[in-house]
């Protein structure tokens, strides 16, 4: 059996999202649990890289290379849903995560919405 995905949830993700992912067996770390509740995007991404965790965010800046250039990283999943309720986030993430590996996500920005998952190679 493959190792569970290691995920890093940014400060926009509520505790109930983390709990739902943990119940499904994912190894989840939240920014607020490691003193990054008020950190900027760059620092959050660096922590995800150091911890070898896929970053999950709602932040659109993770697709803007002028603001935050991406290169080598374990993966970034930007969730796009409206409204951004925990239920909607969980309903998008769980099916996606269940069929993808950490190796597939490496060096990709995935923009995940109800209609599709857009994969952008960043390295």
Domain ranges of the chain: 6-121
Find the helix or strand (DSSP H, E) in which 103 lies.
helix 102-105
Cα 46 to Cα 85: distance, rounded to the nearest angstrom: 26
Segment 6-21 mean pLDDT: 96
Cα 121 to Cα 90: distance, rounded to the nearest angstrom: 24
pLDDT in tens, 65-83: 544 556 788 999 999 999 9
Segment 36-42 mean pLDDT: 86
Segment 91-101 mean pLDDT: 96
């Amino acid at each position: 059996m493959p190792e569970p995905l290691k995920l890093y949830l940014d400060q926009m993700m509520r505790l109930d999202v983390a709990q739902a992912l943990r119940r499904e067996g994912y190894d989840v770390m939240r920014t607020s649990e490691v003193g990054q509740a008020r950190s900027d995007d760059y620092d959050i991404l660096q922590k995800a890289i150091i911890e070898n965790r896929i970053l999950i965010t709602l932040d659109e800046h993770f697709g803007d290379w002028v603001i935050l250039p991406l290169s080598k990283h374990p993966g970034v999943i930007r969730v796009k849903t409206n409204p951004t309720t925990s239920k909607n986030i969980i309903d998008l993430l769980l099916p996606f995560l269940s069929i993808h590996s950490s190796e597939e996500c490496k060096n990709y920005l995935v923009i995940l919405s109800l209609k599709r998952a857009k994969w952008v190679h960043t390295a």
